[in-house]
Amino acid sequence: MPELVVLAEQLLAEIPGGTGRYTRELVGALARTAPERWSVATAVARRSAACDISAAVIDGVTGPRMLPLPPRALLLAWECGLPLWPGGDAVHAPTPLSPPAAPQHRSLTVTVHDTVPWSHPETLTRRGVHWHRKVITRAADRATAVVVPTGAVAAELARYAPGRAPLRVIPHGVTTPPNPPNAEEISRRLDLPDRYLLAVGTIEPRKGLDVLIAALGRYQGPPLPLLVVGAMGWGGVALSAIAAAHGLPPQRVRVLGRLPEDELAVVLRRAAVLAVPSLAEGFGLPLVEAMAVGTPVVHSDAPALVEVAGGTGLTVPRRDPAALAAALREALNDPAATAARVEAGLRRAEGFSWDVAARAVWRLHADRVPPAAEDLVVPHRPG
């Protein structure tokens, strides 16, 4: 029986982030949509017996099996080009952490989520920029195919890392956040205000949260609090200090940290507006999830966000707190226009499906799966 192995290392990361959510959702969908006689397994770097790897266990999927090397050694081995194959007839790497190439008669696909290492290197560590550029460039030349979530990323990657592997645009899906039966209890436990602004994502420089807080300092209207859902990332983004610098009292900005899915669903559904002021994104899962539950969105003009939202949110220039403040005011104070955008967002969100994404990935590996007309292939080299 042929086997597709998905590298699930991101699920065990200290901060799984959006790529962790992508990995979990896609692996589950790959299992649901597997072609006849194909099976799906996951693989992770070696851990000690005492290490809890339950976060990488997914229903309907074999594994995770452990590779011979621990995380740091595995990263270094693949970065240096050692041909350590994780097993299976095909491998999908949901992040750029991947083998350097596939052995003969096997296939390797790699998802590249964004081009931040080239477009916004100042928002990553120096080591992160070097590593990502190296492994993404190699994947673009040696992988069977490179998967990207938007046409915007495809166009940028073709410019920054041209190679022989075809680019396949496969948008992420959306799992509509549930409305838990204990939503009121969750709301009380989290002490949610009656009305608030929301930002969701790892707290790091490229998310533009400093611009959002600066916009709150300029906002002319009721002093709505900003709730931020996400783990602290790198870069020392001190939101409380930024708020104080803009004259905001401490209660205006609250960091809720990383929340379980049921709590995130409640917070997302009850937000007055989701703000996504990112300097760069490859897709923007929180944006689509907000659209799927009818929460209004205001987002930056990062090309991928514009592409994904499709005009259903208010778009503002990046790094422009005055424009962001004006857009927030419009979203909050023009209920008719906001309702029309929300309705359009609900319809657009219906078009993002994890099962559709999984079937597109399968077509890159399983010859018996016929190509679909809606697949978009962007060649690396123009012409």
For 141-179, the pLDDT digits (tens) are: 999 999 999 999 999 999 999 999 999 999 999 988 888
Residue carrying structure tokens 């292939």? 377
Domain count, the chain: 2
For residues 369 and 363, is the Cβ–Cβ distance under 8 A?
A: yes
Coil, helix or strand for 273?
A: strand
136 and 96 Cβ atoms separated by less than 8 Å: yes
Indicate whether 83 and 192 sit together in one domain: no
E strands, the chain, in order? 3-7, 39-44, 62-66, 90-93, 107-111, 145-148, 167-169, 197-200, 226-229, 253-257, 273-276, 297-300, 314-316, 376-378
When pLDDT is averaged across residues 356-363 and rounded to a whole number, the result is: 97
Q: Identify the pLDDT of residue 105.
A: 87
Whether residue 108 is found in the same domain as residue 254: no
pTM of the model: 0.91
Please enumerate in sequence order all residues whose Cβ is within 8 A of that of 339, keeping only pairs 6 or more positions apart, or say none: none
Beta bridge partners of 167: 146, 378
**Are 113 and 96 within one domain?**
yes
**Residue 6, pLDDT score:** 98
Question: Pairing between strand 197-200 and 226-229?
Answer: parallel
Where does the pLDDT of residue 34 fall: very low under 50, low under 70, confident under 90, or very high at 90 and above?
A: very high
pLDDT of res. 367:
65
Residue 289: predicted pLDDT: 96
Confidence of residue 375 (pLDDT cuts 50, 70, 90): very low
Do 29 and 109 share a domain, yes or no? yes
CA dist., res. 232 & res. 127, Å (int): 19
The predicted structure's pLDDT at residue 128: 92
Predicted confidence (pLDDT) at residue 379 exceeds the cutoff of 60: no
Q: State the pLDDT at residue 235.
A: 84
User: What percent of the chain lies above the pLDDT cut of 70?
Assistant: 96
Average pLDDT across the chain, whole number: 93
Distance (Å, whole) CA 64 – CA 145 = 24
Residue 147 has phi, psi (to 5 degrees) of: -95, 130
Residue 368 — very low, low, confident or very high, per pLDDT cuts 50/70/90?
very low
Q: What is the pLDDT of residues 81-96, one digit of tens each?
A: 998 999 999 999 999 9
**Residue 383 above 90 pLDDT?**
no
CATH label of the domain that carries residue 149:
3.40.50.2000
Residue 83 has φ and ψ, to the nearest 5°, of -80, 60
pLDDT, average across residues 266-280:
97
Enter the tokens of residue 379: 């060649």
- Alpha-carbon span 134 to 144, nearest angstrom: 17
Considering the domain architecture, whether residues 340 and 369 belong to the same structural domain is answered as no
Determine the structural domain holding residue 156 and report its residue range. Answer: 3-173+353-378
Considering the domain architecture, whether residues 266 and 344 belong to the same structural domain is answered as: yes
Structure tokens belonging to residue 142: 């040696």
Is the model's pLDDT at 372 over the cut of 80?
A: no
Q: What is the pLDDT of residue 373?
A: 39
